[in-house]
Structure 1
Amino acid sequence: MTELVHRADHRGITTLTLDSPANRNALSATLVGTLSDALTRCGKDHGVRAVVLTHTGNTFSAGADLRDPPHPDALVGLMRRIVELRTPVLARVTGHVRAGGLGLLGACDIAVASTTATFAFTEVHIGVAPAVISLPLLPRTDPRALARYCLTGERFEAPEAARIGLLTATGDDVDDILAPVLDGLRRASPQGLAETKQLLTARVLEAFDRDAADLTALSARLFSSPQAREGMTAFLERRDPTWAE
């Protein structure tokens, strides 16, 4: 089986690259497990000052893999691992992000995307809701904008994603944006980074502690519903679902 996550290390920065372009880096059970394991190893490696999460192909992540979906508990665990990691996690996005992939962005401490990237919460189109990915997103993004994009499934561009707090910054060259950020992280002490990150993620972790069990149950219920089965079938068959007007 092709390796789904590649690791590269350079001067204290570990880059984890999602490499499943055949399904647009969809969050399969296998990919979620592999990425979780890679993050766990990073957390145990005292030489890692920060983690950069990036991708191959033109899509950062297309959301849940409908043919091999992860259990909601596994996706919650992955996002929590990003939030709890003592080293900062940065998202480097040069492609499109959909549905569950937006949960990864919300969990990251810093998220940078190229101006060609696009974003969409497409869950409502297949009969489900952005249940578990709301855990890191609700504390960090503009509530009015989040309501609009989650309810309509509209596509929006990188500048709008930055305006509503989904992204830290956007520009034509993401590496130019990241260069001073990574330099600053290399200059920071490991203790300073860990303690500062803990301060900044406290509200997000409160949401996980309070709501994760209920939202996991909601996600499981919705994905097993008749409307979700119709929505996912329609998506895979490239047709409109029965409720589309």
Structure 2
Amino acid sequence: MRIDLNSDLGEGYGPWVMGNDARILDSVTSANIACGGHAGDPETMYRTLRLAAERGVTVGAHPGYADREGFGRRVIPMQPAEIGRMVAAQIGALIAMAGLAGSRVRYVKPHGALGNLAAADAAVAQAIVSAVHTVDPSLAILAISGTRLEAVAREAGLAVFSEIFADRAYLPDGQLMPRNRPGAVLHDAKEAADRLIGYLASGRMPVQGAEPIDLKAHSICVHGDSPEAVEMARTVRMRLEAEGVVLAPFLG
């Protein structure tokens, strides 16, 4: 079995640093890099792109609401067309920095509240997909498995890859459990790795209050902003490899 391991990185701003990107990049095979919305600035983007390139890690754009105070985890009221323009601008910024860093942006994964909204709202999903297609139709979409964004991107003819989360709990409809609910975030690396091994053996993800659900996955996400992020990424990678799983980018 072969699967990708990704993380959301480059989420600092100016002198403020979020997480330990260099150490997480030692474990993952793809990096979703913040591009100036919820986090990130030109220097942070450039440094993160260089770190990824040095390790041979595939990179994607991680656009989100322009909401640094809320870290992009609040829905900001916007029309779909406005969301599309915001996403296009952020992707363009990362593509420009990638050119300077000797790297290449290969895919797009919406961040936080924007990603969750696109998972359920077809109009928002369409706005993001249209923006990606206009900026560069060769860019792939990394979407939460089983969601509207996944379906809309596929209908538009973009390359689409499905994602599950190592460190987040799920609801019975396949959506991620809201972060303000108890148990929404998994902090124990061993527990998260055990759940992943069970998922990979069965194709079914445990959910709260219901039977496990079927999900497809090309990639597994480990968030880079939690205190246990480095240990989570390292433990997940070690456990997967111990089970004979090959870790490789979903985009070769």
TM-score (norm. length: structure 1): 0.36
By relative contact order (CA 8 Å, sep 6+), the higher-ranking structure is 2
